Each structure stands twice: as C-alpha cells, then as structure tokens.
Structure 1
Amino acid sequence: MSLLAHFPQACKGEVRWMFQHLDINGDSRLSLKELYDLEHDQSEVCLRPFLQQCDIDRDVIVTPSEWCRCFQRTERPCAAVKHKITPDLLGVFVPDCDSQGYYKQIQCHNAINMCWCVDKHGVEFANTRTHGKPICDTIVSKPNLLSKQITSNSANNSSDDEDDDIDQDIEGSADHPDY
C-alpha cells in the first residue's frame, strides 16, 4: 500500500526526497526498522541522537511533518560553511552562496586573487583555477562529456589507469576548504 506523504510546504526538497527514499514500504511513516541502518551507521555517530530527536511525540514512528521539522534547522552546503567562518579573520576564503544556500558556479578567494568553478555542492572542477574569473558555463557540461569518454574507453577495453586519471580530474576540493 503506497500512500502519498504530506509534507509541510516549507520542507526542503532534499529532506522530502530522503524521507521517501527511507520509507521502504511507502506508508508515509518511518519506522524503527526503516531508520535502523541510518541510525547504526558507525561512521556517523552523531546521527542516532539527532534522529531520535525527530520523533517529537515519542510514538516510535517519524511522520513527514516530524522529519521536516527535524531538518528545518539544517543549512545547505555553502550557507553552512559560510556560517562557520569568523568574519574578523583576514585572508580567509569566504564562499559565494546563491539564495538557496548552494555554491554559486564561480568561487573566488580574494586574498590570493584566484577563482575557480564548482558545482552547487562546492565540488571544484579540475583545472579551472585562474587569476580572474573563469567561464564556468562550458565547464559545467564537461562531466557529461567525461562520463561519455569513460563509457567509450570501457567499451574499447582501455586500461584502468586511464579511468583513474579521469576520476581524478573531476574530483574537487570541497572537502578541503582553505580556511
């Protein structure tokens, strides 16, 4: 039986998606069984206490309303990083965020006069660092070309080394901010 979950209007899209992804039986409720793997992930030790706070009425079921309320306080990637930066530090990279809290395509570190292209999550596109502003519109479509190249290389029985080089080209530095 698949019910249509009713989310509060202000609920973020990614929060809705995660709820629906976890709602394995489609009953618009997250049970202990559906949350078990998420709560017991050894690499995410802070997640269990956080998720336990989501069950506001303590009925051992998390509804769409409770789920959205639980994640209401969370920030999107760029906004979260920007929020942690101490404004009085000189020379620190401060990300440029869009109105929804995601990274803008062009990021610049004014103290070193360098700019680069990123995706909305802040993952840097390889070989885009430059003095002045890069033209990111053409680079944003590059991952699609790279994945086609990987598929083409695999079809031609190319070596794994070539695929590794391509993977490294599309890795960025979002996990290693400059501050």
Structure 2
Amino acid sequence: MVCGSDGHTYTSKCKMEFHSCSTGKSLTTLCDGPCPCLPEPEAPKHKAEKNACTDKELRSLASRLKDWFGALHEDANRVIKPTSPDAAQGRFDTSILPICKDSLGWMFNKLDMNYDLLLDPSEINAIYLDKYEPCIKPLFNSCDSFKDGKLSNNEWCYCFQKPGGLPCQNEMNRIQKLSKGKSLLGAFIPRCNEEGYYRATQCHGSTGQCWCVDKYGNELAGSRKQGTVSCEEEQETSGDFGSGGSVVLLDDLEDERELEPKDRLGKLRVHTRAVTEDDEDEDDDKDDEVGYIW
C-alpha cells in the first residue's frame, strides 16, 4: 500500500503506475502506507542534549576530571624521566605561572603544547571524551569567561576550583538568608571584592582577629593574629591546594643572583615569624627564619 502524490491510497505501487498511465497524470510515491503520510520522526538532537547539562552535572564532571588529573599526575611522578639540557634550553617554564598548582597546574602545562599560557580547541581536544562524557564541551564552554574559544590559566583554574559560583558572594547570600534581614550577633561577615571573591584581608569584628586568605576564602597558615595584618590585595592562590603567594619568573632568578644576600632574603620572604626588638641586630637577622614560597 502506497500514498500517491495525488493524495489517493493505492494497494500497490504497480496500481499507482497503472493509474498514472491510464489517466496521463504524473504520479509519484509520497510514502509507504495509506494517505495522509505521517510526518517523519525528527533526527535525535545530540547537540541539544549535550548543551542541556545542569549545573549539578557540570560540577560533578569537574570533580571527576580533577580526580582523573590527580591520578595521572601521581603516575607521572612515579616515573620521572630526566630532561636533556638541549630540550630544556629555550623552553619557557610555564609550571610556575598557573595560579593553581599540583594536578590542575600540571595538567594545564601538559596540554599547553605551544607554551603560550592558553589552551586552544586543538589542545583541549586532547581530553575530550564525548562518547563517555557528553557534558565536557559545555563544561569548558562555561569556563571560557572571555568567550574567545580559548582557556587562559586563570580560567582553567577557576573552572575547577569552586564550580559552585563566586565564593564570597555565595557566602554573603547564605548569611543573608540565615539572618532574614536581622543582624547576626557575633557572626563573621566576610569582605568581598567587586568580582565576588574574598578580599585578601579578613577580620572578625567580635574577636578583633585578622588574617590573610586567598580569593576563595582559604586562610593562609600563620597569618592570623590579634589586630590588623598586612596581606597582599591580590592573592594568586589555589582554593583547593593552598598554593600561591609570590610567582617567580626564570628571568627574575638570574637578577636575584646579583642581589646582596640580605636584599635577596627580603625579596623572597613571603611569611616570616614575628620579629622582636632584640632581633633587629644585624647578626641576629641572619638567623631569621625564611618562610616558604608556595
């Protein structure tokens, strides 16, 4: 049974062709089966499905990718191949630049094949697993803040640090919901910058204590004390790994060799222990403990 182009149903294609010849009409088959023809089923919308990923799915995927990067990093550390001097010469050391360290920074540097501190689509494609992770493209698209088709080291790190949104602004929203318009006595109220991240210096109004944090609100070890503290206003640190502080470039290391030892210590010191008046003696200054560069 077929449906002809004249809108009639024929028991077979042969019957339709016979009628066409006998009447002189040009007939074609519109569809198999009786008239009217049913609309053809729509093709599966694979792309639409991939773009319809919820925030929860994106956060879950980011968490799984972090775990995967961590496993790859751990395996790579077990077998460290020595790099020949010729191969290392002329290569810009990007491992010191991403604001996130450990597995996230390591993975960024592995993917950044041309060392331009940007991941273009061809470099990001190295970890695309569309068959198994349909939300991976939407995830990286959501991380592309500048919508230029590339991920900077900042965008890459922020993508995995706190997928739930702007950390300080989220905390303020949570406090406002709890207070319901009333002041919370004795509660800590964070200080946020214009972008919704934590300011470097945080203070508790009730206790009078102040401390330094990274932009995700993680307290820097040893920074808390009674009264005001001096913190860098722009902490390039990792919310998950506590990395950050000062960033040392390769060219800076060569310049530092020309500095006097005392000046060099002053430049590299990030966190130092408290210095008493007796420590002001020049000989005692040499014994001051130098903090870590994270």
- Normalising by the smaller structure, the TM-score range is 0.3 to 0.5
Structure-1-length-normalised TM-score: 0.42
Structure-2-length-normalised TM-score: 0.27
